[in-house]
A and B are shown apart, each in its own frame.
Chain A
Amino acid sequence: MSPLKSIYHWLDARIGVGELVEKRLTGYLLPRSINAWYSLGSVLLVIFALQVITGILLLVYYVPDAEKAFKSVSSIMNDVPFGWLIRMCHAVGSNMMVAVLMLHMLSVLFMGSYKSPRELNWVTGFILFNLVLGISLTGYLLPWSQLSFWATTVATNSAGAIPVIGKYLVEFLRGGKLVGPPTLGRFFSVHVALLPLLIGAFIGGHLFLLERIGVSTPPFGLKETKNTWQGDRFRYDAHPGGIPFFPNYMLQDLTSILIYLAIFFCVVFFTPYIFFPPTAFVPADPYKTPAHIKPEWYFLANYQTLKVFPNELLGLLVQGVVMTFLALFPFIDRGRERHPFKRPLFLACFISGIILYIAMAIWGHYS
């Protein structure tokens, strides 16, 4: 018997590896009509893992001190071997994570996969989206550049529009009246400890729900596209006669991951500064506000919404309503039909929502 087979038998006799493989991989059946969009979750897991690894590596040299942070980041970029690569992977990866997460959510909306009994999958996913936005925002301050400093000033200032508690909330977020060294300490601890733990926990919950309820069937190419679950008792959504996760769908997962990595490394190697305006290379100066400070691309639509409304509170309220509506969407859209072309109202809102978001972001960029 070969050494590998001996190890396999040794493990199988103790923890039942064979049964585990049969149950979770080769015997784990997915719908035959499953498509590539379902692999975005695996892509996101890889991105999160890369963010954790590059983040831990950055912690080796990064100094979370207002006097030293910018210098330590400059040193990572210029002095440490391959430091530029680690930092660029982390910075580009954070942007890519938001983009892929948006695509994942849009595909779930389009295919009606959020519908019962998967409301909790949607809610945990939506919370994850907000946590990822939070970890991106807190990470933005850490290089302590002019861009970091003033983008954080603008972002935290928005909370001041909330009646009664707004002023205190801004001070609480900043650890003082203005953005300063205490803000860096707060954002650093939230960025490297609190949010990664929360994201890890919610990923665990999201995967548990996926495993427990079963993968949804895409609504395309079927005669009957209505939701058949009656809502009376728990039912695992099995797919008899489906394709096994291993090796069939794992190959699709790997293909999507490799396509993602190809795009990711193209950005890292050929246009690394696409997400870095010139103010990102100047150390923070609390006495000199640079012109045209803009937030990251994924906050541009929110930024422009605040500008469109004459009252900042109204702008915040509108965004709050939209986010609450999206968070509770599976409880609002209770129709049984899942095919997007048989849901004209949904499809109209879906397309116009995407167009509006992109238009507001472009407007925000050029305004």
Chain B
Amino acid sequence: MQNASRRKFLGLCLGGLGMAGAVAGAYSVLSYLAPLSDEGTGGKISFSVTEIPPNGAKFFDFRGTTGVVIRKQSGELVALSAICTHLGCIVQWEQDKQDFLCPCHGGRYNSDGSVISGPPPRPLEKLAINITNGIVTVG
């Protein structure tokens, strides 16, 4: 009886150790495979205001997706997410029409990101923008 309980105790210890090792291994591997975060820059992106052409747009990687800053005819700068709210394609800036076109299914947005036509259910997400000393900071 004493032997049986000792064996059970040792078995439980060994099983516990094995389980702890498996959990530690699984945690390491899952952390290794998890997408990397942008903590280093606080998720913000900066560039010179001169990189945005008149009436044009600048696309950039933003928090793992794509953002865009456009310069409207009035000179105002607008920052938006470039992800179409329909099925997630990247919209394109049409300089001559001053609107966004999603080439996937023909969705159109105006320069403020509001839906003009097509299937998109929501406007483009607006991003915070700040211009200081000729440097544009988005996010």
A residues lining the B interface (CB < 8 Å): 57, 60, 79-83, 85-86
The 8 closest A-B pairs by CB, nearest first: A81-B31, A82-B28, A82-B32, A82-B31, A85-B28, A86-B32, A81-B32, A80-B32
Quote the shortest CB–CB distance from B33 to chain A (angstroms).
7
Does B4 belong to the interface (CB within 8 Å)? no
Q: Which residues of A contact B31 (CB under 8 A)?
A: 81-82
Closest to A79 in B: B36
Judging by beta carbons under 8 Å apart, are B29 and A82 in contact?
A: yes
B residues lining the A interface (CB < 8 Å): 28-29, 31-34, 36
How many angstroms from the CA of A63 to the CA of B52 in the assembled complex? 32
Judging by beta carbons under 8 Å apart, are B36 and A60 in contact?
A: no
Quote the shortest CB–CB distance from B7 to chain A (angstroms).
12
Q: Which residues of A contact B28 (CB under 8 A)?
A: 81-82, 85-86
Judging by beta carbons under 8 Å apart, are B29 and A57 in contact?
A: yes
Quote the shortest CB–CB distance from A71 to chain B (angstroms).
14
How many angstroms from the CA of A354 to the CA of B50 in the assembled complex? 71
Quote the shortest CB–CB distance from B29 to chain A (angstroms).
7
In the complex, given contacts A57-B33, A81-B31, A86-B32, what are 13 additional A-B residue pairs having Cβ atoms less than 8 angstroms apart?
A57-B29, A57-B32, A60-B33, A79-B36, A80-B32, A81-B32, A81-B34, A82-B28, A82-B29, A83-B32, A85-B28, A85-B32, A86-B29
Show 18 A/B contacts (Cβ-Cβ < 8 Å), sorted by A.
A57-B29, A57-B33, A60-B32, A60-B33, A79-B36, A81-B28, A81-B31, A81-B32, A81-B34, A82-B28, A82-B29, A82-B31, A82-B32, A83-B32, A85-B28, A86-B28, A86-B29, A86-B32
Q: Which residues of B contact A80 (CB under 8 A)?
A: 32, 36
How many angstroms from the CA of A136 to the CA of B139 in the assembled complex? 46
Closest to A254 in B: B14
Q: Which residues of A contact B32 (CB under 8 A)?
A: 57, 60, 80-83, 85-86
Closest to B40 in A: A79
Most buried by A among B28, B32, B36: B32
Most buried by B among A81, A83, A85, A86: A81
Q: Which residues of B contact A79 (CB under 8 A)?
A: 36
Q: Which residues of A contact B33 (CB under 8 A)?
A: 57, 60
Closest to B34 in A: A81
Q: Which residues of B contact A82 (CB under 8 A)?
A: 28-29, 31-32
How many angstroms from the CA of A86 to the CA of B28 in the assembled complex? 9
Q: Which residues of A contact B29 (CB under 8 A)?
A: 57, 82, 86
How many angstroms from the CA of A60 to the CA of B33 in the assembled complex? 8
How many angstroms from the CA of A22 to the CA of B75 in the assembled complex? 82
Q: Which residues of A contact B36 (CB under 8 A)?
A: 79-80
Quote the shortest CB–CB distance from B36 to chain A (angstroms).
7
How many angstroms from the CA of A137 to the CA of B139 in the assembled complex? 47
Quote the shortest CB–CB distance from B38 to chain A (angstroms).
11
Quote the shortest CB–CB distance from A169 to chain B (angstroms).
39
Quote the shortest CB–CB distance from A47 to chain B (angstroms).
15
Closest to A53 in B: B29
How many angstroms from the CA of A60 to the CA of B30 in the assembled complex? 12
